[in-house]
Amino acid sequence: MSGPLSIEPNLGGDAPALETERLGKRYGKVRALHDCWLSLPAGAVIALVGPNGAGKSTLLQLVTALLEPTEGVVRVFDAPVRAGAAAGLEQVAFVAQDHPLYRGFTLADHLEMGRRLNRRWDRTLAERRFAELDLPLRRRAKDLSGGQQAQVALALALAKRAPLLVLDEPLASLDPLARREFMSTVMAAVAEDGLTVLMSSHVVAELERVSDWLVVLSHGRVRLSGPVDDLVSSHRVLTGPRTELAASVPGVVRQEHADRHSTMLVRTTGERPEFHPAWQSRSIGLEDLVLAYLELPDPASQPPAQPSPTETSPR
């Protein structure tokens, strides 16, 4: 690779990094994840957002074969992922919530364990990160600060040299400075190695500068999936007098009616959509967009009146 423009984002092209088909997981009678279809592009940094209990961790654990699906399949770079299927598992590196390490182990012990557990193992990469962090190899995990533990867990995951890095709530337990340092390391790996990253979070505000693909999950279902910029630019908020006009607007995601006026979130298709002059149209920020989709009612608890808004628009 040479030159600053040699990194092709290539979103939406070529083979997807991660695909799920009809993926589902039940715990007894509880549906944690239901009918999940995803196709996520290689080289993207994908933010998986949703409230607690939406199914984010379940999805990530299915992607990393820590859970067996009740139905459906997961493929990472075309290789099926399931327990015992080495070809698929080697494509995925995972950092679990709270960045677990073996407390009594030194960093050198962790490196040795990584070597024994992985066919592909880049010890030099991990050692270089430890050196950058000023962490001696004899240091034990329990003597590290929270931010250092996160960085060590990340370095060990990157040393696996897997093309897909999965992070479960990586920022939740970190202070703002440690968050910044953690994401800076992840973004550098994306820039250098074309890594694909799938990370869950319930903090939307921090995701805009790092992610270029958004997946919104709620009630165990995918509500929205697509390139962040396209999703933001294709949604408009319309405000206007409460009239029967509302019925004539296509692509309504949700609507609210007061006595005299109505507010609607619409998903548009054309380059420059035209609305009736009575409607004022404005853009919507990423955070408000996510909230609007999260506030949609659970589709399981209402009759299927209209097509669900979960489809991904092709570029």
Partner 1 sequence: MLKLRLDSATGVPPYLQIVQQVRQALLLGYIHVGDRLPTVKEAVAELAINPNTVVKAYRQLEHEGLVSARPGQGTFVVGDLTPVPPGVHAALRRSLERWVRDAYAAGLDDEMVTAMFAMIRTEVRNEGVA
Tell me which stretch binds partner 1 (CB under 8 A): 111-119, 154-162, 204-212, 215-223: 204-212
Provide, rounded to whole angstroms, the least separation between the CB of residue 291 and partner 1.
14
Question: Interface with partner 1 includes 3 (CB under 8 A)?
Answer: yes
The interface mask with partner 1, positions 219-258, x = CB under 8 A, is ---------xx--x--------------------------
> Interface residues for partner 1 in 33-62 (CB under 8 A)?
43-45
Query: Among 108, 187, 252, 291, which residue interacts with partner 1 (rule: CB under 8 A)?
Result: 187
Cβ count within 10 A of residue 51: 12
Q: Which two tokens stand for residue 175?
A: 């202070």
CB-nearer residue toward partner 1: 161 or 180: 180
Q: How far apart are CA 67 and CA 59, in angstroms?
A: 9
Separation of alpha carbons 5 and 12, rounded Å: 18
Helix axes 107-117, 146-159, angle to 10 degrees: 30
CA angle 205, 92, 214 (to 5 degrees): 25
Lay out the sheet containing 235-241: strands in order across: 252-257, 261-267, 235-241, 280-283
Among the listed residues 271, 236, 232, the one whose alpha carbon sits nearest the alpha carbon of residue 250: 236
Smallest gap from Cβ 197 to partner 1, in A, equals 9
CA 105 to chain centre: 31
Stretch that binds partner 1, among 29-37, 65-73, 113-121, 209-217 (CB under 8 A): 209-217
**Block residue for tokens 């050198």:** 108
| From candidates 201, 211, 234, 312, binder to partner 1 by CB under 8 A | 211
Give CA–CA dist 219/147, Å, rounded: 32
Nearer to partner 1, 109 or 193 (CB): 193
Question: 161 phi and psi, to 5 degrees?
Answer: 55, 40
Stretch that binds partner 1, among 31-39, 50-58, 210-218, 264-272 (CB under 8 A): 210-218
Q: How many residues bind partner 1 (CB under 8 A)?
A: 33
Among 74, 81, 174, 190, binds partner 1 (CB under 8 A): 190
- Tell me the C-alpha distance between 238 and 107, whole Å: 55
Q: Which residue number, 2 or 248, has a Cβ lying nearer to partner 1?
A: 2
Output the six-digit token pair for 202: 């319930």
Which span sits near partner 1 by CB under 8 A: 4-12, 71-79, 215-223, 235-243? 4-12
Alpha carbon of residue 92 to chain centroid: 14
- CA-nearest of 251, 226, 237 to 306 is 251
- Site track for partner 1 across 271-310, x = CB under 8 A: ------------x-x-------------------------
User: How far apart (Å, rounded) are the C-alpha atoms in residues 235 and 241?
Assistant: 20
Q: Which of 67, 164, 174, 183 binds partner 1 (CB under 8 A)?
A: 183
The reply on whether position 205 binds partner 1 by CB under 8 A is yes
What is the binding site for partner 1 (CB under 8 A)?
2-9, 11, 43-45, 180-181, 183-184, 187-188, 190-192, 205-206, 208-212, 228-229, 232, 283, 285
